[in-house]
Amino acid sequence: MTAFSTGTVPAAGSMATGSHEAPASVPAATRTMSLAGALNDGLRRSLARDDKVLLLGEDIGKLGGVFRITDKLQEEFGPRRVIDAPLAEAGIIGTAVGLAIRGYRPVCEIQFDGFIYPGFDQIVAQVAKLHYRTRGAVTMPITIRVPFGGGIGAVEHHSESPEAYFAHTAGLRVVSCSNPQDAHTMIQQAIASDDPVLFFEPKRRYWQKGEVNTELGADALPIGEARVLQPGSDVTLVAYGPLVRTALDVAAAAADDGVAIEVIDLRSLAPVDFTTVESSVRKTGRLVITHEAAQSGGMGAEIAASITERCFDWLEAAPARVTGFDTPYPPAALEEAFLPDLDRILDAVDRVLGRRNSLTGWEARA
């Protein structure tokens, strides 16, 4: 990993049990930012820190990207650092591979989740495997940014959650940020990583605001670690990306009901920080996992399976998954039905608690 430290900052530990909002005592370098703005600033710092960092994507130049994540970066760093690419995702990723071989650290923007598939071969057969193929001679410090997930009322292919494909692909790292602070630090950590990183941005949270310590350098929580956002002793609730905020809402609602939920923001999907999840589940004995992606073969399956392996004797109930259905992402009018929400997650909480009225009854009937 290339050096990445610009100052001393509060220890990551102080974040570990705080909420995703600002910690109580706001350090000097802290500013209020949207998640989108935090990414923009993180990219700017990465470009400024290392000449080898390049941005490559569709409409990222003058337009600043359709979500404005690269707003003004071409103006500031010029068209050779922030490059509008022809409209072809395999071309973007494959060109980035060549740039990486030449020593660059390309950051590719995929405009929407559903447009990553034309680049799939270059990602899984090249980006993921080149370090292994060359027995370590070639590194692939490529970051692939993907605005992902639904809830924005978009047309087809604009609301997908393809993270499980990449988490199943050896050689890749997969992360997702859920709040402005993590967006700011994690994008810089991803770019500084010598491994390829799929960086999933929760597009429906782009405009969520929060306090950001912009100088959180080496002291930031490492990119591969999960964060306990809220402690609790009754149920462990694992979420990432867009559903972290929902998970916190669930915890608040459950608290009113006397149920103490421990909320974990997974942050890294490959590798999963099972140590953190395991110690939580050994405490609570109950696990609920939520994501927007389809249930079959989603991240929830891996987490449920691994935690069952690690915590079998501690589990009071089968881990429950609250996910998108095994359907294509639906049209906007149906996304409310499709997306995990407060009620569906609370229902699963009831289920792992063995409460009446939960779907446990349905399961038994099925």
Partner 1 sequence: MSTTHEGTRTHEAHDDIPVHLSQLEDVVQLISPTGERLSSPGFDPWVDDVSTEQLADLYEDMVVVRRIDTEATALQRQGELGLWPPLHGQEAAQIGSARTLRPDDFVFSSYRENGVAYCRGVTFTDLMRVWRGTAAAGWNPYEVGMATPAVIIGAQTLHATGYALGASFDGTDSVALAYFGDGATSQGDVNEAMVFAASFQAPVVFFCSNNQWAISEPVGLQSKRHLSDRAPGFGIPSMRVDGNDVLAVMAATRIALDRARSGGGPTFIEAVTYRMGPHTTSDDPTRYRPTGELDEWRAKDPISRVAALLESRGAMSDELRSRVEGKADAVARDLRAGCLSIPQPDPMSVFDDVYAEPHSGLERQKGQYAAYLASFENGHGDGAEGGGAS
Ligand X SMILES: Cc1ncc(C[n+]2csc(CCOP(=O)(O)OP(=O)(O)O)c2C)c(N)n1
Using rule CB under 8 A, residue 322 touches a copy of itself: no
Pick what 168 binds: partner 1, ligand X, a copy of itself, none; C-beta below 5 to 8 Å, kind-dependent: a copy of itself
- Per CB under 8 A, does 80 bind partner 1? yes
281 contacts a copy of itself (rule: CB under 8 A): no
Taking CB under 8 A as the binding criterion, the range among 6-14, 27-35, 135-143, 200-208 that sits at the site for partner 1 is 135-143
Is residue 343 at the binding interface for partner 1, with CB under 8 A as the rule?
yes
- Contacts with ligand X, 46-65, as mask; x by CB under 6 A: ------------x-------
Whether residue 278 contacts residue 266, with contact meaning beta carbons closer than 8 Å, is answered with no
Cα distance between residue 309 and residue 305, in whole Å: 6
Select 65 or 324, whichever has its Cβ closest to a copy of itself.
Answer: 324
Nearest approach, Cβ of residue 201 and partner 1 (Å)? 18
Distances 296 to 319, 322, 361, 362 between C-alpha atoms, Å: 14, 11, 21, 19
Q: Which of 24, 25, 258, 312 binds partner 1 (CB under 8 A)?
A: 258
Q: Can 158 be counted among the known catalytic residues? A: yes
In the list 7, 23, 91, 118, the residue contacting ligand X (rule: CB under 6 A) is 118
- 126 lines the binding site for partner 1 (CB under 8 A): yes
**Which residue among 18, 115, 124, 209 contacts ligand X (CB under 6 A)?**
115
The entry of ligand X, a copy of itself, partner 1, none near residue 186 (CB within 5 to 8 angstroms by kind) is none
Q: Return the residue of 24, 312, 357, 364 that touches partner 1, per CB under 8 A.
A: 357
The region that residue 135 occupies, defined by phi over 0 for left and psi between -120 and 50 for alpha, beta otherwise, is left
Residue ranges in 74-113 that form contacts with ligand X under rule CB under 6 A: 87, 89, 111
Q: Given the rule CB under 6 A, which residues bind ligand X?
A: 58, 87, 89, 111, 115, 118
Task: Give the binding site for a copy of itself (CB under 8 A).
Answer: 90, 114, 117-118, 120-121, 124-125, 128-129, 132-133, 156-157, 164-165, 167-171, 270-272, 293-294, 296-302, 304-306, 308-310, 312, 315, 317-321, 325-328, 363
User: Catalytic residue numbers?
Assistant: 158
